[in-house]
Amino acid sequence: MSLLAVNGVNKSFGGLQALTDISLSVNAGEIYGLIGPNGAGKTTLFNALTGLYSIDSGDIRLREARLADLPPHHILKLGLARTFQNIRLFAEMTALENVLVGRHARTRSGVIGAVLRLAPTRREEADSTERAHALLARVGIAQHADRVAKHLSYGDQRRLEIARALASEPEVLALDEPAAGMNPGERVALAALLRTLRDDGLTLLLIEHDVKLVMGLCDRLAVLDYGVKIFEGTPEAASRDPKVIAAYLGDETV
Amino acid sequence: MRNLSGKSRWLVFGLFAIGLALLPFLIDASMGRSWVRLLDLALLYVMLALGLNIVVGYAGLLDLGYVAFYALGAYVYAWLASPHFGLHLPFWAILPLGALLAGAFGVLLGAPTLRLRGDYLAIVTLGFGEIVRIFMNNLNAPFNLTNGPQGINLIDPVTIGGASLSQTQTWLGVTFNGVHLTYYLFLLATLAVVFVSMRLENSRIGRAWVAIREDEIAAAASGINTRNLKLLAFAMGATFGGLAGGLFASFQGFISPESFNLMESIMILCMIVLGGMGHIPGVIFGALVLTLLPEALRYTGDWQRAILGEVVIEPSDLRMLLFGFALVAVMLYRPAGLIPSSRRRAELADEAP
């Protein structure tokens, strides 16, 4: 059974039909690519999955839980975390604090605990801080823990966004163009990181424009064009599919 | 402070405490009693500024109606401890009640504004502030709740162990004037507010507020229930405002809607912006400066006489002009505030090559 199931999702903005009858099924433990030309509806689908947009019709399920119409924080708590195409960090906070915010859904202390610094709150803070440092190390920016997020390099900001998303202990991590703006060396490191995340049991949903990266990394992928899914299958099959070649790859050889 | 060892840290702390304890006597001796009274007022504004700082500085919600909660705290105190309704409850019962009620109103007034941001939020909260003031102004009929524009008079002063804080008391051979005693009460309340602010700042809740300020969508996608946390910010801020309001009513003995106009809200906001938004020492400093500077500028008449031999410009005319210039100058030369947070300073250092 698939871990994340999207069924017949429609979304329109005024007269523009952004998503038409989209159905996908993402299996546990795979890297699932979502590709398509600009304006194909990839980010719209991400926003629908993570509760930033409400959908007009259809069904989205993570295991048994219905995600459609839940608020974003609730969806995150159910185990679907995301990053953004146009990096959305908390710019004035340090890298460590950004990751600590990502722990919010998995921690509980409130005002009274904070003011009186009760034992459970102290324990929780220590635990969160330790996990946050470990996550920063995992994505490779441990040395920047105390730097303000907006002063990190572009690539490091993308890694920090991944660390923040991972802090919520997701089952599915949705990455919106994680390699955008990265140099070739950074891309290789990112691909390696994503593979180790998958090997640790995380399921990844990946929007990416870099065809080489997608082909090399994804176990399966779906191709969107003008809000319609025109293909779902392995990368090798995609590169041979005439509809995909026509719509997305054009006359480029892969 | 951070680099000091444990022992010298306690020493600095001890000296600071002694300084705070002796301050009203030093000021009384050097500058006169009216300045001790001003110091009391300044402490009230420190509480108000720290309360608004939670809403504006941390959560980034521009609230121009904050004075409504100050008014509410003051009126609750006046209703329960004055001849107006013939009730004379003790202060330790009324102050928490007023603060809690103000907190509840914070949620009530915050709820309709949740979808609003920036300018729109400012205008709606401005409206709420005015609505509360106008209510206070008009609720003398059909049932006389607020006594209208005349306000409520003869409010009980705070009484501790039979000793009223409005009268001179002698303990252990030391004579404490009313304003001195009020100072100690206000200082305790202020320290409590500072303590709560500091603890919240570096907590899960404080981080969630700042995350909302920085990027509300990313905050929601990071698992923060933005609705509840915004309401919590409004409630916490309003609670501090209500506490300050109750203390104000007991201190003045008289309140009227005039004390709670839009100008007050704006002044409190200025204290935060000028001192250093979201930074506790900055906000405290901003509140002290903005309370004391306009009073100090009353002395411009004396300065003119000393330098020029006569009063050329009336101090009352000159005062607000100089005050305005000072505000503009600070914003031009220290845009992040007089005492910006270390983070902002670190950023400036970061930017240097």
Q: Give the 3-state secondary structure of chain B.
A: CCCCCHHHHHHHHHHHHHHHHHHHHHHHHHHCHHHHHHHHHHHHHHHHHHHHHHHHHHCCCCCCCCHHHHHHHHHHHHHHEECCCCEECCHHHHHHHHHHHHHHHHHHHHHHHCCCCHHHHHHHHHHHHHHHHHHHHHCCCCCCCCCHHHCECCCCCCEECCEECCCCEEECCEEECHHHHHHHHHHHHHHHHHHHHHHHHCCHHHHHHHHHHHCHHHHHHCCCCHHHHHHHHHHHHHHHHHHHHHHHHHHHCCECHHHHCHHHHHHHHHHHHHHCCCCHHHHHHHHHHHHHHHHHHHHHHHHHHHHHCCCCCCHHHHHHHHHHHHHHHHHHHCCCCCCCCHHHHHHHHHHCC
Residue in A closest to B350 by C-alpha: A151
Tell me what pLDDT residue B344 has: 54
pLDDT in tens, A43-60: 999 999 999 999 999 999
A1 touches chain B (CB under 8 A): no
pLDDT at position A254, please?
Answer: 44
Q: Using a CB-CB distance cutoff of 8 angstroms, which residues of chain A are in contact with residue B200?
A: 111, 114-115
Cα nearest neighbour of A128 on chain B: B204
Nearest CB partner across the interface for A115, out of B200, B224, B351: B200
Q: How far is B114 from chain A (nearest CA, A)?
A: 15
Between A54 and B177, residue with greater pLDDT? A54
Q: Percentage of residues in chain A with pLDDT exceeding 90? A: 80
Q: What is the average pLDDT score of chain A?
A: 92
For residue B142, whether the previous peptide bond is cis, meaning omega lies within 30 degrees of 0, is: yes
* A246 or A65, greater pLDDT: A65
**B-chain residues within 8 Å CB-CB of A104?**
204, 207-208, 211, 222-224
How much is the average pLDDT of A114-143? 95
Decide if A72 touches B, using CB distance below 8 A: yes
Matching residue, tokens 């005062």: B319
A71 touches chain B (CB under 8 A): yes
Higher-pLDDT residue of A74, B180: A74
For residue B353, is pLDDT > 50?
A: no
Q: Considering only CB atoms, which chain B residues are within 8 Å of A168?
A: 222-223
Task: Give A148's contacts in chain B (Cβ within 8 Å).
Answer: 343, 346-347, 350
Beta-sheet strands, E only, within A27-171: 31-35, 57-62, 65-66, 80-82
- Is B337's Cβ below 8 Å from some Cβ in A? no
- Does the distance separating the beta carbons of A89 and B218 come in below 8 Å? yes
Q: Is A144 on the interface with B (CB under 8 A)?
A: no
Mutation choice for B interface testing from A67, A74, A88 by most B CBs within 10 A? A88
Contact A65, A251 (CB under 8 A): no
Give B141 to chain A, closest Cα distance, Å: 40
Lowest mean pLDDT among A5-19, B146-160, B173-187: B173-187
Judge whether residue A229 has pLDDT over 80.
Answer: yes
What is the ipTM metric for this complex? 0.93
B343 in reach of chain A (CB within 8 A): yes
A111 touches chain B (CB under 8 A): yes
The C-alpha of A126 sits at a distance from chain B's nearest C-alpha, in angstroms, of 11
The answer to whether residues A182 and A190 touch, using CB atoms and an 8 Å cutoff, is yes
Chain-chain contact of B214 with A92 (C-beta, under 8 angstroms): yes
Identify from B202, B204, B228 which residue to disrupt to test chain A contact, counting A C-beta atoms within 10 A and taking the largest count.
Answer: B204
Highest mean pLDDT among A151-155, B204-208, B293-297, B346-350: B204-208
> How close is the nearest chain A Cα to the Cα of B314, in Å?
45
Q: What is the pLDDT of residues B236-252, one digit of tens each?
A: 999 999 999 999 999 99
Residue among B204, B206, B221 minimizing CB distance to A107: B204
- The percent of residues in chain B predicted with pLDDT above 90, rounded, is 57
Contact B232 A111 (CB under 8 A): yes
User: Does B6 reach chain A within 8 Å, measured CB to CB?
Assistant: no
**3-class DSSP state for residue A224?**
strand
Q: Would you call A102 an interface residue with chain B, using a CB distance cutoff of 8 Å?
A: yes
pLDDT digits (tens, 9 = 90+) for B147-161: 899 999 999 988 887
pLDDT of A191 reads 93
CB contact under 8 A, B346 and A84: no
What is the model's pLDDT at position A60?
A: 96
A214-238 mean pLDDT? 92
pLDDT score of B351 more than 50: no
CA dist., res. A52 & res. A237, Å (int): 32
Q: Is residue A214 predicted with pLDDT exceeding 80? A: yes
Q: Chain A residues with CB inside 8 Å of B343's CB?
A: 92, 94, 148
Question: Of A71, A69, A9, A74, which Cα lies nearest the Cα of A42?
Answer: A9
pLDDT at B1: 47
Q: Which of A103-112, A164-173, A216-225, B2-11 has the lowest mean pLDDT?
A: B2-11
Q: What is the pLDDT of residue B312?
A: 78
Inform me whether the C-beta atom of residue B144 falls under 8 Å from chain A C-beta atoms: no
Looking only at the bridges linking them, the beta strands covering A172-176 and A80-82 are parallel
> What kind and span of H or E run contains A174?
strand A172-176
Mean pLDDT of A234-254: 77
Q: Which of B100, B215, B222 is the best mutation test for A, with the most CBs of A within 10 A?
A: B222
pLDDT (0 to 100) of residue B223: 95
B204:A97 CB<8 A: no
- C-beta of residue A94 within 8 angstroms of C-beta of residue B221: no
Predicted confidence at residue B2, as pLDDT, reads 53
* Contact check, Cβ <8 Å, A114/B200: yes
pLDDT at B179: 85
Q: What is the mean pLDDT of residues A133-161?
A: 94
Q: Which of A47, A54, A73 to mutate to test the interface with B (most CBs of B within 10 A)?
A: A73
pLDDT at A167 over 90: yes
Compare all CA atoms of chain B with the CA of A102 and give the residue at the minimum distance: B222
pLDDT greater than 50 at residue B264: yes
What is the residue-averaged pLDDT of chain B? 88
| Out of B215, B223, B343, closest to residue A104 by CB | B223
> What pLDDT, in 10s, does the model give residues B3-40?
567 788 888 888 988 988 888 888 888 888 889 999 99
CA B196 to chain A, closest CA, distance in angstroms equals: 6
Of B99-103, B111-115, B139-143, least confident by mean pLDDT is: B139-143
Q: What is the pLDDT of residue B232?
A: 97
B49 and B267 Cβ atoms separated by less than 8 Å = no
Q: Report yes or no: B342 at the A interface, CB cutoff 8 Å.
A: no
pTM of the predicted model, to two decimals? 0.91
For the stretch B26-75, pLDDT in tens is 888 888 888 999 999 999 999 999 999 999 999 999 999 999 999 999 99
- Partners of B347 on chain A (C-beta within 8 Å) are 148, 151
Tell me whether residues B343 and A109 touch, CB distance under 8 A. no
User: Residue B288 and residue B297: Cα distance in Å, rounded?
Assistant: 14
**pLDDT (0 to 100) of residue B237:** 96
